Amino acid sequence: MNWKFVEKLENESNIQLVESALKVTFPEHFLSIVKKYNHGTADPGTFDTKYLKGRSFGELLDFNLNREYNILSEYELIKDRLPNNVYPFAGDAGGNYLCFDFNKNEITPRILFWDHEQKFHIVDDEIVINDEANDYERHYLDFVAVNFTELLAMLYKPDGDEDDDEDAEILYDGMDD
């Protein structure tokens, strides 16, 4: 596995600040990845959920807390739409997140995919969004993996995905002419 677009973790003590703010202890494997590949994008970076195929890992949320968009600020944006003890750690380009779910196991949280689109049904050709008691019940949470290590092991490159950085660089260089 490769990691692209990595941004150096400016201060490892930020990890403890985040854990303290969220009142969690992240899995050691996850922390080792953050320390080396903060804000990076996994390659390959496609995974399947329990119900959907071909979802994107996106990028790790940034642990550099001086940045406008960091792991804590991203959590603040969606926390009212997440159940308790569920925290995002990676986001895709579509506004969705991979999350740790600490509800069943505080040491080895399972991995869920949170979809920002609201749940809806089509009734008589009209979209109907059910009223829910809690805002987080309006959004899909889909099971991905039993832990972070399993998530990384299941990442794949889709068939026919010939996206190669070398080719992209050559194409970009040609555009300068």
Condensed to tens digits (0 to 9), the pLDDT of residues 52-74 reads: 899 999 999 999 999 999 999 99
Q: Tell me the pTM.
A: 0.80
Class of the 2-175 domain? alpha beta
**What is the residue-averaged pLDDT of the chain?**
83
Strand partners, 115: 140
Q: Which residues contact 56 (CB under 8 A, 6 or more apart)?
A: 45, 46, 92, 93, 94
Question: Among 97, 106, 88, 98, which residue's Cα sits nearest to residue 23?
Answer: 106
Could you tell me the residue ranges of all domains in the chain? 2-175
Residues in the chain, overall count = 177
Q: Which single residue is written with the structure tokens 């973790």?
A: 9
The model's pLDDT over 6-52, given as tens digits with 9 standing for 90+, comes to: 999 999 999 999 999 999 999 999 999 999 999 999 999 999 988 88
In this structure, are strands 46-47 and 55-56 parallel, antiparallel, or unpaired? antiparallel
- Tokens encoding 31: 């922390």
Q: Of 41-45, 90-94, 118-122, which gets the smallest average pLDDT?
A: 118-122
